[in-house]
Structure 1
Amino acid sequence: MIISTTFALTLLLIAVNAAPSSENEDLLVVTKDFFSEDIIKYTSTHDIVRLVVPLNGLNFDDDSDNFSTENDDGSALIFFVEADIDDKGNKDYKGLYVFKKNVATKLLENGRGAAPVNDDSKNVFLAATDGLYVYNVKENKAEKYGTLNDNIIDIEKENSSSVLYIITANHELYKVTEEGTKKTKVEGVGDAQRVVLDYSDNIYYYGEDKQPYVINAEGVKKISGLPENPSSVTLIKPPFVLDDCVAFVSDDKGYYLYANGTSRFTEFVLEAKPTAYGIEATLVQYFAYNKRIYEINIVALILGEMKNSLDLGFLKDKKESVKSLATRSRSQLHP
């Protein structure tokens, strides 16, 4: 059946321990009807190609899942990257921004990504074509971090340490330590295009062939069970309630990638595919589509407090689980 829904809800199903769909159920198709005007948070003249929602003191009070007051309206402070995308998928980057107090501020003209520290601090590391930066929340600007001057196209942060991971313009993956002054090449990785860490610090990346891999204590392993020759793929930071898993879009289909090297089709098809996903916060999520950022409050939708064209019939039996999840803090879920 075709319903006006979103990839966020299938992620939420896993988050509240929903059983996988049976092979006989119809596919759930995401349509453009989901992206309604009443949930637009920001409109750009360029495509938004990266969204990051910090799970730290920028957005959460201590031991709370409620957004803090960095934004006056109680929504999240988010980082995003803009670019113009041509017919072949090539990107002409237009800068790294922070959206704070309902105002978008360009932090770095040459910015490519952001990696928050997932603790009670307000630290966020930024990647640019001339090295690493850190976000200064008081002055709302980027400041140089460390001594590296590499052309960095992607960045991620370990949850359990101060280690950063970066991908350079020549598509090599490095581990960055000693406060941004030392980098060590991650061996066994070729043509890395994008890197994402799950909340157990397993590393996922895909190469030029658009096939994803996972790196952990067992080494580098190709993820099994996925289409062999996709034309486009996207790695997605998952909701923080998932430990050993990330989300992945291959062409127009959604999958979960697991740390043991397996995958599972979510039975979601994206007829209208976002250009970026910011779903880390679980119950309030952000999507970029058609040069706009949309804010989705899952709880408000399910409880009927937010108007939208979503058909939530398949989630009715999950209402109590969602309400329970909404009352749990980050520290309860991730000590």
Structure 2
Amino acid sequence: MRTALVIGTGLMGTSAALALNGRGVDVYLQDHDETVARTAEALGAGTCAAPPEPVDLVVVAVPPAHVATTLAEAIGGGRGRGYLDVASVKGGPRRDLDALGCDLSGYIGTHPMAGRERSGPLAATADLFEGRPWVLTPTAATATDVLNLALELVALCRAVPVVMDADAHDRAVALVSHTPQLVSSMVAARLEHAEDSAVRLCGQGILDVTRVAGSDPGMWMDILAANPGPVADVLADLSSDLAETVTALRALQSADDDKRRGGAAGIEDILRRGNAGRAKVPGKHGAAPKPYEIVSVLIGDQPGELARLFADAGAAGVNIEDVRIEHSAGQQAGLVNLLVEPRSAPVLTAALRERGWALRQ
């Protein structure tokens, strides 16, 4: 790939353009908002000049509702050898293109499984896709050279290609992405009118559950409007679990011993099912999740403390597999949870204590 045209210079388009431009591809930028395109250009994503000839690959990074018309215009204008989109929904745009009479041999639907809570070109980074799955949804009509161009794009962005059927993809993202966004927003919505005394008790659990609730509502409206059926199906199943859980919790209030036992069994069942589902989520580097030990360290909220902690862990010869930080409410301190392999936990604990760190059991 020598040349590419990126249409849509928001977070995804600009991140792809930055990755391509940084690896020697001549990237041309286009957006319906010229100011946004100029911002991407200023960031080093490419040039807003028109391509002098058809490019090798046209990357369409616009909201799902506009994917088909944008692609149809690009294909009709002969703007590239190959065409792909990066929208989070795949079945609908492909059917829309087919209905518009487009030749689908030069097109492949794709979806990089990466993103941020922020949007726009200023949130873009060249490494946004590194190590992340990038779904490709070729059909029998997809030309081999177009599939190869898509694979080259994925490689240049240092992502991991995953081939799926378009509708299977839409059902999958409804489960692992779109429904969690809605559930996170629903939980966060309970906080809007909560008493300040309750909100002050927020800890790491509520922060984890509501993290994605800070995402742009306009962007998510576009996504959900393009995939309503599969999301509704998942929410319907979730609603059944929720109703059963409510019933079980009410039973725990009963004076009847049998009802209380039944309620406890119902709650335990959902918690155990949750354990089983969580265990299926891929761990580090996509491998099966490992059981890690947690070494909890109290640190001050001041420059250099984290760097010193990691340096001391490195000096002890211990690899930190993951890290989570909990901030103390109203205090200039925090709790850093270092996740390490079980055999490394005693070594790290002893080394950090020797270096004067305050550990929490």
TM over 0.5: no
Structure with greater proportional helix content: 2
Structure with greater proportional strand content: 1
- Pick the TM interval, shorter chain: under 0.3
TM-score where L is the length of structure 2: 0.24
TM-score where L is the length of structure 1: 0.25
Q: Which has the higher contact order (CA 8 A, sep 6+)?
A: 1
